[in-house]
Amino acid sequence: MQLSETITNYVRACFAGIWIESHEHDDAIADIAKMCENENWSLATWDLEAGLTVPGSTNPEESGSTDPIAALRSINGLASDDGAALLVLKNFHRLLGSPEIIQAVARQISLGKQNRTFLIVLAPVVQIPIELEKQFVVLSHELPDRVQLEQIARDIATEENELPTGNEFDRVLDSASGLTRYEAEGAFSLSLVQHGRVAPDVIWNLKSQTLRKSGLLGLHRGEERFDQLGGLDNLKAFCRRALARSNAESKHRPRGVLLLSPPGCGKSQFAKSLGNETGRPTLTLDIGSLMGSLVGQSEQNIRHALQIADAMAPAILFCDEIEKGLAGSGGSGQADSGVTARVFGNLLTWLNDHTSDVFVVATCNDISRLPPEFSRAERFDGVFFVDLPTREQRDAIWQIYINEFELDADQQRPDDEHWTGAEIRACCRLSALLDVPLAQAATNIVPVASTSAESVDTLRTWASGRCLSADAPGVFTCNSKRRRRRRRAVQGNPLNN
């Protein structure tokens, strides 16, 4: 339902106080003016700079006043027996710290139910004083949908070949999703200036400025690809298929995956690669950075961050080591007055209810620190365990990093039993940095399977039968012999590990 239709219903129902959350005041006022013209209603607008404006008025006393209380009273002069009178107040939330203005607004709303006069506040935020909370109904001026964005693009790009066709045009509309009308016009125009045609890359660059202004989300711009990540064949295929189906049929929205593994097994690199593989931006969400010092700030930050993620759809939302950001969410709340628990509750609700095309990739190294409700069905499409790489996978990882660091591929490799991909990369990087063979560089590597053997064993045991395997279709099954052999090696001769 469009904004004008919604306002019409509330005016007819005699809601005398209407608060509209909007960043596009001119567009909202244009819709309201058209609505008033169709309904034969009177309209006046007021802002602190231009004062009172009554369209079509020939009485100079009706216009120009910058006194907010005088503007509130003036709306009664426009009242009529057979119609309605609307006064639109732009950015009026800045003035609602005054007791006199609060009282004047409350009085006018009460009077408006009798003489059919209506106050409409246009503001980018909802900041209603407690004295007025029960007298205002809050509406939202929705961002343009795909149909409106398409019309804006066609109005801007009027020459032949300035607009792409087919899938490329769908990518343009996807990239413009979440922009205001003003921002969309600017993005399309900038793309024409830079490239002579509308291109999604320019639009994504503009959208990334939204993230920098908010400071709540990051935008990963790396070049990682799946072919730079050895193993994880089942996880790659699952996510590719889920996101491809999402693009084809909007009714099917994948939710995301939760990745559990020991440190260094490729969870983060997978999340960063997934965006490039599927043509989506990768947004990074650090739960810990959202915690604020003021009462209610943390909860507001998480809600705002998730709203931005929804506006950036289609996108990948990457939450790294999420158990650390939500540590304490299952406790008594005495340490932080329950802030973490409330932030966790907001995140859980969004994971369960959001309908935007945002695919969440959350990683975790210690499942015991996450409440059980976090990983239940319908919050994620699957919980995958990323195990230590097999012999075949380690060979593929060695080849990737030997090529990346331009090392001699024929040299002898060190004993890499139970190494992670991160440790193989570290060995190759140190070999190039120190200009030594791989076997000598390996003397500086202590694998996590040795330093945290008990934790790794516990994690693999917990995941067995509970998580999907990232490497092969089906449920992950722990290799108990492999686990016991590593434990004996650590206890028997730890210096060799």
Query: Could you give the 3-state DSSP secondary structure of residue 234?
Result: helix
> Which pLDDT value is given to residue 1?
57
Q: Report d(CA 356, CA 143) in Å as an integer.
A: 14
> Which pLDDT value is given to residue 109?
95
- Predicted TM-score (pTM) of the model is 0.71
> Which pLDDT value is given to residue 492?
43
Q: Look up residue 117 and give its amino acid.
A: T
What is the set of domains in the chain, with CATH numbers? 3-140 (3.40.50.300), 146-214 (no CATH), 220-385 (3.40.50.300), 391-463+477-496 (no CATH)
First to last CA, the chain: 65
DSSP 129: -
> Which pLDDT value is given to residue 152?
92
Helix (H) or strand (E) holding 88: strand 85-90
Q: Report d(CA 98, CA 404) in Å as an integer.
A: 64
Query: Could you give the 3-state DSSP secondary structure of residue 80?
Result: coil
> Which pLDDT value is given to residue 250?
56
pLDDT tens for the chain, 497 residues long, are: 588 899 999 999 999 999 999 888 999 999 999 999 999 999 999 999 989 988 766 555 556 678 999 999 988 888 887 789 999 999 999 999 999 999 999 999 999 999 999 999 999 888 899 999 999 999 988 888 888 889 999 999 888 888 888 888 888 888 888 788 888 899 999 999 988 889 888 888 887 777 777 777 888 877 888 888 888 899 999 998 888 876 544 566 888 999 998 888 888 889 889 988 888 888 888 877 777 666 567 777 888 888 888 877 788 999 988 887 666 555 544 445 667 788 888 888 888 888 888 999 999 888 777 777 777 777 888 899 998 888 888 998 999 999 999 999 889 899 998 898 899 999 999 999 999 999 999 999 999 888 888 888 888 888 888 899 998 899 988 865 444 444 434 444 434 43
CB of 18 within 8 A of CB of 118?
Answer: yes
> Which pLDDT value is given to residue 303?
85
Class of residue 342 by CB neighbours under 10 A (exposed 0-12, middle 13-18, buried 19+):
middle
